[in-house]
Every structure is written in C-alpha cells, then in structure tokens.
Chains A and B, each alone.
Chain A
C-alpha cells in the first residue's frame, strides 16, 4: 500500500495465506481438470484425490482426436478468431481516428449513437438478426459469425479513448510534412497505440474463441462448429467419458492460455490507459 512499505511479520503471514487461498480457489478447477485428463475413466472420481496418477494415460489425448473432429473445431475457431480480430482492429481504429482527431459535421451525434448501443445487449436483437442473416443466406456459414463479431461499437469507443491521449502536435506535425490523413493513421496512430490494439485483440480473440450463443444459433452443421459448441456436443453425447471430456477441455483451453500469457503485460497496461475504467 502507498506510504508504509514495511509490514510486521505477522501481517505478512496473514497476507500471503490469503493470497495462497486465492490461488488455490482460482486454480483448483484447472488442476483437477489436468489431473483427471490423465486418469483412467474409472479413477476420475476416486476419493481421496490423487494428483498425479501412477500411470498417466496420455493416450486419452490421442483418443479424443478420433472420437470427435477436434481438429476441425479448432481450425474453425482459430480462423474465425483471427479474421474477426483483424477486422475489428482495422475498422475500429480507422473509425476511432476520425472520432478522436478529425473535425466533421455530425461527429457528436454519431459518436453518441455509437456508445448508446454498447448498453443494448446483443440478446435483445439476436432474433431479428438471425432472421436477417438467414434471408441473406448466411445461416450455417462462418460469415455469419464474422459479421456478428467484427463491427463492435465497443472497439471504436476503446480505440477513441486511447487516441485522445495521443498529443495533437504529433498529427499536426505530420500534416505539415504533407502526410495525408490516411498516412497519419497508418504511420503515426497505429504504431503509437500498441497497448490499446493489443487489448482490443485479446478481448476480441478471447470473445470470439469463447463465444457460445452465437455459434449455437448459427452453426448447426458439425463441420462448421467451433470448439465451444463441439466440446458441448461431445460432453452431452459421451456423458460418462469423464477423462476424455477433461482431456478435450484442456485442449480447448490451451490456445487462449497461450495468447493471454504472451500478451498479458500489454493487456493490463491497455486496460489502464485506454480508460475502460470509465
């Protein structure tokens, strides 16, 4: 805490005990999942609990690939998450540049309209959206999920907040040097907004990767399904294959874990600087 830097030893012990408890509560489900994924099915619920089984069954991990088209699910999800993240960052930062740095007619009204819709839950218009997409022939296509996720008002808002913190002098100087507005966006704004871009990428990637209701509504063909829907299908079909279900869950978690861990430093910085705190 600010000010006092030295704590009494007793206070330290209490503090670290609380922290240890938090770590345990947070991580237990993941530890249990990992442990169960290496057990024989009949041993999953053995009590008392064994952390590492005597003979880890790594074959659980090879078996799930033949039980369900896990590879297809993963590829579908990866494809959607990458495309949506790219589109989101490009269109959001593009629009945010105009809202933050350019003077034009209707700026205030347009921006207000944007942020007003952030508070409207998608669930409140998912039904007509589905009807529209079906009429456009997008039901059971990946395009539906891309259209659904790629143009959020939230992304525009977040990028704009960040651009406001970039000094006007920077873009003014570039303008005097003869750079066009598009050039300023590309050469000045984008390179200077790494924390915000990273945050938006993490949010979008994780949201798209973990999205459940969207793919549940739009993707009913097995070969189109994402990992979440596929995993759910698997768990409801093979309800008592506990060990295999856990192995599949671990596989579904890994990509997000990698993205998150490799970008997490930027991420916390991004949340702080982009003013999501409101």
Chain B
C-alpha cells in the first residue's frame, strides 16, 4: 500500500522541497554563480558588462588597502579562533560539572551571544574609551600613571586588535560553549571510571579521555569559527567606525573592502573578485580541516 508507483512518490517529495528550494535557488544559488561571472568583468552598475578575464585578480594583488585588509583578517582569525575555543571548552567543562545554579550560569554565559551587537559594541566603546572610560581609569589608578598614558583601545593603531579580539571572544564563547556541552553529553562515563581506577587525576582524565572523545565537536567548532572570523565586518564597524562607516588601515577587513568597493565605489566586478578570494580562502580552510579530521579519526 505504501509502495506506490515511483513517479507520484517523487512528485510528492519534490513538492515538500519546492517552497524552500525556490527561495534558496533564486536568492542564494543564482547570486553565487553570478558572483563568479561578475568577478571576471568590469561593471559599474550601468551599461554593458565588459569581460576582462583575470584582470580584477591581478589588480587585487597590487591593491595595498586590500592586502592590508587581508592581513588584518588573518591576524584577527589567528588570535580569535584559539582563544574562543579554549574559553568555550573551559566554560563547558566547568558548567558540565555538578554545581549549584548550573542553569543560571549557562544562561548568563550564553547571553552576550544573543545580545544585539550594536548595543553591546557601544558599551564596550564607552568602557574602553581611552580618555574617560572606566577600564583605563581603573588601570591608571592601579598603575599610578596618568590616564593619557593608557592604551588607546578604540583608536586605529596598536591595542585595537587586542580590543576587538577580546570583544569577539566575550561575545561568542557562550555559543560555542553550548555546542561543547552537547559534545560532552556524548562522552562515555565508563571511560572516566576506568581512568580514575588507573589512578589518572582530573587533568589527565581531561587530556586522555575528554579531549579525544570530543574531537569531532572541536573540528566542527574550529570550522565554524574560522568561517565566521574570515567574514567579519560588523564587529569592526561597530567598534571602530564613526558616522561615515570608514575604517582605517589598522582595522580594515576583507568584507569592509568588498562593501566599500561595491556600494560606495560601484565597482561591482572588482568587488566580486574580492568575494571570490574570500570564498576560496574559506573553502580552502574547510577542506584542510576535513582532511585533518579524517587523518585524526583513523
């Protein structure tokens, strides 16, 4: 009875997928392909599309602002990813243990993730404001130095990268903690018993039982974090830019360059070439991680 003829069965299945697929195809798949085409062209939004081959890409490598943005993005990623993983994992292990008010602590640490970026970025700008912010006030009192000698966190140079990394870890660690919590649920409790019987202390149990057991979670978190770090823009914009939405050399990132080139410069072809570079980087990192995971799990 449930083995109907193939054709209507297929049709029913397709009818389930169609509503989502239609939207997905028109607003995601088509633009993806379009992006590839546009990256090989010169087009300012009006007139004919002129194909220029790989010219946009050669132009990119000589573009100092873009290269600077690329380096900044890589530095940001290299700092944010490991710090977030360590913080999230530590938090998850801590909040997986039997403590009073566990749910309260979990909820609190998740909250920065759901809080609106614009709102919390403003508070952080105020808190770390070089001249009047409470952080530098406390620092200057502790160190007994004038507040003008304190780090200019929100300005263009120097400590700006630390500031944005610190902010990013604070904002996102709660999310990855929840994912780690889910991973920790899957660890076989017998393994701890066995390790404890062998005389392994907590740290050795963590290193030799917990870490290998949650390796798949770590690979997943790593991948998500790397992708989200490479496409960062809104955090930098809200922490550093004024009303003109401009970022300086020290804080420009790849997506900022894409945005400015496309929506201010109307240089759509060139901006698409930048997009492709972003895509290739993310794809490359993802593939490397997949290979790493395969190697690791065998």
A positions within 8 Å CB-CB of B: 1-5, 15-16, 18-19, 22-23, 25-30, 32-33, 36, 44-45, 47, 49, 90-92, 94-95, 97-99, 102-105, 107, 110, 114, 117, 119-132, 147-148, 150-153, 155-156, 172, 175-176, 181, 185, 202, 206, 209-210, 212-213, 217, 227-228, 231-232, 235-237, 239, 242, 245-246, 249-250, 252-253, 256-257, 260-261, 264-265, 268, 271-272, 276-278
B132 → chain A, closest Cβ, in Å?
A: 4
B positions within 8 Å CB-CB of A: 1-2, 6, 9-10, 12-14, 16-17, 19-24, 26-32, 34-35, 38, 45, 91, 94, 96-99, 103, 105-112, 114-120, 122-124, 126-127, 129, 132-134, 137, 170, 174, 178-179, 181-183, 185-186, 189, 192-193, 196, 202, 216-217, 219-220, 223, 227, 230-231, 233-234, 237-238, 242-243, 255, 258-259, 262-263, 268, 271-272, 275-276, 278-279, 282-283, 286
Q: Is the CB of B118 within 8 A of A185?
A: no
Q: Is the CB of A276 within 8 A of B109?
A: no
> In the complex, A26 Cα to B108 Cα: how many Å?
7
Q: When A242-B126, A264-B110, A271-B182 are in contact, do A121 and B278 touch as well, CB less than 8 Å?
A: yes
Q: Is the CB of B16 within 8 A of A95?
A: yes
Q: Is the CB of A95 within 8 A of B17?
A: yes
Q: Is the CB of A22 within 8 A of B279?
A: no
Q: Is the CB of A129 within 8 A of B183?
A: no
> In the complex, A105 Cα to B230 Cα: how many Å?
36
B180 → chain A, closest Cβ, in Å?
A: 8
In the assembled complex, which residues on chain A have CB atoms less than 8 Å from the CB atom of B14?
98, 104
Closest partner residue, chain B, to A20 (CB atom): B105
In the assembled complex, which residues on chain B have CB atoms less than 8 Å from the CB atom of A15?
94, 97, 99
In the assembled complex, which residues on chain B have CB atoms less than 8 Å from the CB atom of A276?
179, 182
In the assembled complex, which residues on chain A have CB atoms less than 8 Å from the CB atom of B255?
123, 213
From B22, B119, B259, contact of A249 by CB (8 A): B119
B190 → chain A, closest Cβ, in Å?
A: 9
Q: Is the CB of A91 within 8 A of B20?
A: yes
Q: Is the CB of B122 within 8 A of A245?
A: yes
> In the complex, A74 Cα to B227 Cα: how many Å?
30
Q: Is the CB of B117 within 8 A of A210?
A: yes
Q: When A99-B17, A242-B126, A268-B181 are in contact, do A147 and B23 touch as well, CB less than 8 Å?
A: yes
From A22, A44, A98, A150, contact of B17 by CB (8 A): A98
> In the complex, A45 Cα to B133 Cα: how many Å?
7
Q: Is the CB of A127 within 8 A of B13?
A: no
Q: Is the CB of A97 within 8 A of B16?
A: yes
9 contacts between A and B (CB under 8 A): A94-B16, A132-B30, A132-B31, A213-B233, A239-B242, A242-B126, A256-B116, A261-B107, A271-B181
Known: A45-B133, A128-B35, A268-B106. 15 other contacts (CB 8 A): A1-B98, A3-B196, A30-B111, A90-B19, A91-B20, A95-B16, A98-B14, A124-B278, A130-B262, A151-B23, A217-B263, A232-B118, A249-B119, A249-B120, A272-B185
A104 → chain B, closest Cβ, in Å?
A: 4
> In the complex, A33 Cα to B126 Cα: how many Å?
9
Q: Is the CB of B34 within 8 A of A105?
A: no
In the assembled complex, which residues on chain A have CB atoms less than 8 Å from the CB atom of B24?
114, 117, 151-153
Q: Is the CB of B179 within 8 A of A128?
A: no
**A contact face: mostly helix, strand, loop, or mixed:** helix
Q: Is the CB of B182 within 8 A of A128?
A: no
Q: Is the CB of B133 within 8 A of A212?
A: no
In the assembled complex, which residues on chain A have CB atoms less than 8 Å from the CB atom of B243?
236-237, 239
Closest partner residue, chain A, to B287 (CB atom): A119
5 interchain residue pairs of minimum CB distance: A151-B23, A236-B243, A278-B220, A104-B13, A249-B119
Q: Is the CB of A29 within 8 A of B28?
A: no
Q: When A25-B170, A124-B275, A132-B30 are in contact, do A119 and B286 touch as well, CB less than 8 Å?
A: yes
In the assembled complex, which residues on chain A have CB atoms less than 8 Å from the CB atom of B27?
129, 132, 147-148, 151
Closest partner residue, chain B, to A77 (CB atom): B116
Q: When A26-B108, A119-B283, A156-B20 are in contact, do A102 and B12 touch as well, CB less than 8 Å?
A: yes
Q: Is the CB of B10 within 8 A of A104?
A: yes
From A97, A125, A231, A235, contact of B34 by CB (8 A): A125
In the assembled complex, which residues on chain A have CB atoms less than 8 Å from the CB atom of B258?
123, 126-127
In the assembled complex, which residues on chain B have CB atoms less than 8 Å from the CB atom of A246?
122-123, 126
> In the complex, A256 Cα to B119 Cα: how many Å?
12
> In the complex, A67 Cα to B233 Cα: how many Å?
28
A25 → chain B, closest Cβ, in Å?
A: 7
In the assembled complex, which residues on chain B have CB atoms less than 8 Å from the CB atom of A261?
107
> In the complex, A277 Cα to B216 Cα: how many Å?
8
Q: When A125-B32, A242-B126 are in contact, do A23 and B105 touch as well, CB less than 8 Å?
A: yes
